[in-house]
Amino acid sequence: MSEQLVSAIAEMREEEAIQLVRDMLDKGVKPMAILDAARQAMDIIGQRYEQGIYFLPELMMAGEIMGQIAEILKPKLAESPEVKRLGRVLIGTVQGDIHDIGKNIVTFMLDANGFEVLDLGVDVPPQKFVEAVRDFQPQVVGLSGFLTLAYDSMRATIQALEAAGLRDKVKVMIGGGSVDEHVRAYTGADAYGRDAVTGVSLAKKWVGAQ
């Protein structure tokens, strides 16, 4: 059934994918095994996007399917002893930007890889990030933004963390749109993630899990 699920997600067969997840849970398949199949599907979707086979609409569709699967699995994951949390990641789309497809995929992938994730949503002001870092105490903060105006918000958020005396307590990664090394340097982030897989890899490295 795992192979069927990988195929259903990768081919954007939404209803079939959701039904398969429910059937697998009913048959006693562990949530982490389902997440692993979803991760494999996302890898395929990512490759097809890079090859020019899939485009933004497909990525958005994939994000929607993943969101639904995540909602079904979250209660099961919470009660599952097999999930050993690697660390905490705070994530959100910065002020002035409401794009969330990329952020949602990264959130899902981090969750699937064993992180406890707090997603602040979209259009998040710097002060809200500061308060959440104080309360949630993550090791990693992810700032997402698709629009170029988001770069100033990313920079302002990192400066707010600095002003609050919290900057040296967290590693900050940025991602979305045309984020590159130049933008990373401008914002003062520790690194940028080209895609969700890179984001997970960075988080794992920073918490000493790889």
Q: What is the pLDDT of residues 99-139, one digit of tens each?
A: 887 788 888 778 877 899 999 999 999 999 999 999 999 99
pLDDT tens, residue by residue, 75-105? 887 666 655 679 999 999 999 998 887 788 8
CATH of the domain at 32: 1.10.1240.10
Give 94's DSSP letter: B
Choose one of 23, 58, 78: the last residue of a domain.
78
Choose one of 28, 47, 78: the last residue of a domain.
78
Q: Collapse the DSSP code of 70 into the 3-class scheme (helix H, G, I; strand E, B; otherwise coil) and give the result.
A: helix
Phi, psi of 190 (to 5 degrees): -80, -30
Q: What is the mean pLDDT of residues 2-8?
A: 95
170, 132 Cβ separation under 8 angstroms: no
Task: Tell me the residue range of the domain where 21 lies.
Answer: 2-78
Q: How many domains does the chain have?
A: 2
Percent of the chain whose predicted confidence (pLDDT) is above 90 = 60
Same domain, 100 and 198: yes
